[in-house]
Structure 1
């Protein structure tokens, strides 16, 4: 049996059900956090299975979505297989064999699940379609969302892309009519009743308060907690409710320097600042993983005035323990939950209210059902906003919207407090108002003026070499070769950006330079270019960092 649908869900479901025919379209389901997108997925799968076909459900990270997986296995007992890289070789083969033999009707997994041989594929769901986890980080640089759409086209399968914060390019395609846009604009709340399924009503999105940290400094508050966040956290704990504190940065201090000469401690192989981790008193490079002991004296001048600056999740955890010693604090980031199995353990501890405050990175922004969470505090909303990347505003808006959605999921209500030094930024303003359309309008105008996707496609050519001079020379030589090919082929609409050093100039001992090819069809140039050893090419990069 399926639970009753809300009026919003019924409208969406009727449109999807009527279009699950051949050739089926691509649906973009834009639903706010907690609006009931998963129930739509379940209904669509049931319809497809009733027609004798199979389905794939893609999730960005299987270990971060255990509650979602349980809903699918409960609705379709014995018909669901979960597939991911943490399975042993024999386990993966067993899933592959059962799928091949038609003994599995639904496969749930990350991007690798797309390549299982479902002979009667009728539906592919891409949940959280905006997630960058769908892009393969190494060659071949495929994007699972785009691959799913192509697979659906070949198999005659319908595609449902779902997100509370759709990718800008996906939303643009929906505006152009290439995808069918469906909306779930209201959050729903379940109230347990006597029936098998709880009564469903609508709920307001949690109010968001933006705090200007410059005002806090002027008032003499140098704590990582603004006065508003401190008061809200104290009240939440007094009422025996739960809070999430979000900061998308690991460690206790994010850079260390000498106050005598200004020397900044960097990784010798990557040229990026080292991060201090207090739990084991080490300096760690988050790019290559190298660790070392913090020096007692400056390696450059021998001075003893070594200062630790910035803050990461370890620092937030320490601050909570200091100000609220009775609070049970749980830190959830890739340092504490490295193994996939650890994610389930951390989630269970928090869901069972064995912790009061959850401190975490983007892992806590996933679609988790946490009814006792009435406060979400974003400690520093600016961490990704000023990065030299054309998607910086979009990533910030998405993260803030997703993490804010963890508050107020029950009748207890909730609130969100966002701390920032730039409250006037449009990404923050629209996130505070839960206004995706407003953000989209400003972001798409910026992309158009700057010549970025979705109006042009980008191809990133990256060269690395252990010799910095050779790295620069080879990159400049490649620029000249590309210019000659553009002229020879008569491609005036193709433009080049660079060459220049990458944001992370050196990684694992190799210097890195890049050239961007900007065009409606970069392949018109790239198919005539042979790249020498040391070069990598990525079309449609999800980030330029």
Structure 2
């Protein structure tokens, strides 16, 4: 493969590129937050910085949040560094991983690309670490141990090697946004989309595009149809123009909370998060047929009517399969593909679906959160969010942040080439601050308000958390052990400032593989220090700084 010439960085890209190159030159482990809207040229900044590092005899590591995104990222870098790109992720066979590992250690590659485990690649002469889509929770390893966060490892590795660390994202997480606001890391902004324009001499330049896709909010309170008339009409127009439409529905928390027709959901008065619905089949003591707070374990009987408007409360039930069926009914000649964990279990499945879309062998893509992650599909001009409210009601204190990130990211799939994009968000809560911030592309306003709320209720980044989960086949013993450990932790924390031990509460999945599960939450400036004061018997798992609490 012949090397593709570099793209000249113009406008704000030039200043941002210079700042990243300067961080590489300093060799002091500088951390930078590259905050750029979708399609703003962040990848070109990465490529420019890597070329600069290579010119200095140094190398790089680039992390992506999903194995499914690795091939398209590899293609972009291989065009610029042909034959010099290594790949490392958990999807490789043992033999493939061994070959890549030894070649990396021998200095065969200018850059190693992979998912979170690639941060441990033995890349010599490290000068640059890029964490793309840095807001993604998938950078945190949950099960099995070790439960590490690749972003924290990247910062530590940068400090040890002097490599510059770049966190690139269109939607920063609250912790890094706050660190930048306090001046602990440097923030670089790319507020405009850029389009590639080929010049008469053949070179490619990036020119700014002032117009982001229009985001239209559709109030579906009281609606009986899954897809509103506005969204159905927009899909029809996209198909008539031979363009593609993307329909997004986050299935996490399916039937895990109650909603009335006006979008209200019962919330915990002490934690200000939605109460999770536990069905009778869960069969856990204190959890059956009740609403439970997954932060503090407060529970109450399941009400039948909304306390705010008096309307009936029902479990949320729509899923991607229902959306696919509805689209097929409305547009029987359209070519429809669904992209979720059921249809894409292997890397080859991801590649096949992406190939269909890129070759325009599909007209409508229906999917979950994986379709919001870094896909560049030039023919997608319409993005429809079928129901924004699933994420808002997940019962996790990060629900608002994660919903804002997902909706903003999925909106960014529309109109990424020369075609104008349109985004339609269906919601039962059109006045919710998250929905308004997405429509206005107002990340700073959202995080300023979100951080005030977190400071008031004592959530990160103003404190730290440790989550302990006990699992056992005997339901009575499981709850007894959870209460015993809570009491022991409270005795260990007695007199320590700023320490709370919350729970026990049943997780969203209260029984897994025949084992009954109960969770505790330690909130403290140093939760690991509290845990060192107690002995955890077999059956307990610990996650310090968890990013998911369900």
Asked whether the 8 Å contact 1:461–1:535 carries over to 2, the reply is yes
Q: Structure 1 residue 269: deviation in Å? A: 11
The corresponding residue for 1:364 is 371
Runs of 5+ consecutive residues of structure 1 not aligned to the other structure: 256-262, 274-306
- Secondary structure (helix, strand or coil) at the match of 1:502 reads coil
- Out of 150, 155, 160, the residue aligned to residue 154 of structure 1 is 160
- Out of 430, 433, 437, the residue aligned to residue 423 of structure 1 is 430
The corresponding residue for 1:500 is 505
- Secondary structure (helix, strand or coil) at the match of 1:190 reads strand
Q: Structure 1 residue 6: deviation in Å? A: 2.7
Tell me the alpha carbon deviations over residues 74-123 of structure 1, each in whole angstroms, 9 at most, x when there is no partner. 10011111111221211111111111111222100011111121221111
- Secondary structure (helix, strand or coil) at the match of 1:503 reads coil
- Secondary structure (helix, strand or coil) at the match of 1:504 reads coil
Provide the alpha-carbon RMSD of the alignment.
Answer: 2.3
Map 1:10-409 onto structure 2 (within 5 A). 10-20=14-24, 21-138=26-143, 139-203=145-209, 204-214=211-221, 217=222, 222-249=224-251, 310-409=317-416
CA distance in 1, matches of 2:522, 2:400: 22
Tell me the alpha carbon deviations over residues 24-75 of structure 1, each in whole angstroms, 9 at most, x when there is no partner. 3101100010000001111111111111111100111132243222110110
CA distance in 2, matches of 1:254, 1:500: 18
Tell me the alpha carbon deviations over residues 169-198 of structure 1, each in whole angstroms, 9 at most, x when there is no partner. 011111111111111111112244544343
CA distance in 1, matches of 2:47, 2:140: 25
Q: Structure 1 residue 336: deviation in Å? A: 1.1
Structure 1 residues 445 and 309 mapped into 2: Cα distance closer, same or farther (>3 Å)? closer
The corresponding residue for 1:529 is 534
Asked whether the 8 Å contact 2:30–2:162 carries over to 1, the reply is no
CA distance in 2, matches of 1:267, 1:109: 38
Asked whether the 8 Å contact 2:216–2:425 carries over to 1, the reply is yes
The corresponding residue for 2:299 is none
CA distance in 1, matches of 2:429, 2:74: 38
Q: Structure 1 residue 249: deviation in Å? A: 2.1
- Secondary structure (helix, strand or coil) at the match of 2:521 reads strand
Structure 1 residues 30 and 250 mapped into 2: Cα distance closer, same or farther (>3 Å)? closer
Q: Normalised by the size of structure 2, how large is the TM-score?
A: 0.86
- Secondary structure (helix, strand or coil) at the match of 1:330 reads strand
Runs of 5+ consecutive residues of structure 2 not aligned to the other structure: 257-277, 290-313
CA distance in 2, matches of 1:231, 1:192: 35
- Secondary structure (helix, strand or coil) at the match of 1:544 reads coil
Structure 1 residues 195 and 466 mapped into 2: Cα distance closer, same or farther (>3 Å)? farther
Q: Structure 1 residue 201: deviation in Å? A: 2.3
Tell me the alpha carbon deviations over residues 222-252 of structure 1, each in whole angstroms, 9 at most, x when there is no partner. 221111101111111111111001112289x
Q: Structure 1 residue 393: deviation in Å? A: 0.4
Structure 1 residues 264 and 531 mapped into 2: Cα distance closer, same or farther (>3 Å)? closer
- Secondary structure (helix, strand or coil) at the match of 2:334 reads coil
Map 1:464-503 onto structure 2 (within 5 A). 464-487=471-494, 490-503=495-508
The corresponding residue for 2:8 is 4
CA distance in 2, matches of 1:470, 1:505: 14
Instruction: Report how many aligned residue pairs link the two structures.
Output: 497
